[in-house]
Amino acid sequence: MFLINCPFCGEREQSEFKAGGEAHISRPKQPTELSDDEWAEYLFMRKNIKGIQFERWNHSHGCRKWFNIARDTSNDQIKAVYKMGQKPPVI
């Protein structure tokens, strides 16, 4: 359990949020031209690294807005919180 600083509501407890997986994965522009492997790569394959990972989170029991965080997966420290559409900060 940890605290997340929602960019809209302020600091809240993790149980109010839903994790939305890895951030900054863009949908292929022409899905019909992809092979099955490439499509599977886009759909299912995630990095799941130990260290700083950029993730999408949703404040589902609060303002219901999506945003991004940079979280160190080894100790759950949140290095940065930034809104959707913004570029990931350099950490």
Partner 1 sequence: MLNYNSPLVKENSYSELSMKVINPIMKLIIRGKKREFLSGVGKAINMILPTESCTSSTSNDTTALWLSPDEWMILSNNVIDKNTNSYEQENHLINNISKINLGAVVDVTDQYVLINIEGKKIFDLLSTGCPFNFNDFRNKKGGVIQSLMAKIDIIVHHKEINNVNLLVRRSFSEHLYSFLSDAASRI
What is the nearest approach in angstroms of partner 1 to the Cβ of residue 33?
35
- Identify which range of 8-16, 23-31, 43-51, 66-74 contacts partner 1 by CB under 8 A: 8-16
**Helices marked H in 3-79 — which ranges?**
36-44
Residue type, 34: L
Question: Considering only residues 39-68, where is the footprint of partner 1 by CB under 8 A?
Answer: 61-65
24 alpha carbon, distance to own chain's centre: 8
Q: For residue 10, state whether it binds partner 1 (rule: CB under 8 A).
A: yes
Residues belonging to the chain: 91
- Identify which range of 13-21, 25-33, 38-46, 66-74 contacts partner 1 by CB under 8 A: 13-21
By C-beta, is 11 or 33 nearer to partner 1? 11
The pair of structure tokens assigned to 14 is: 């993790």
Residue type, 22: E
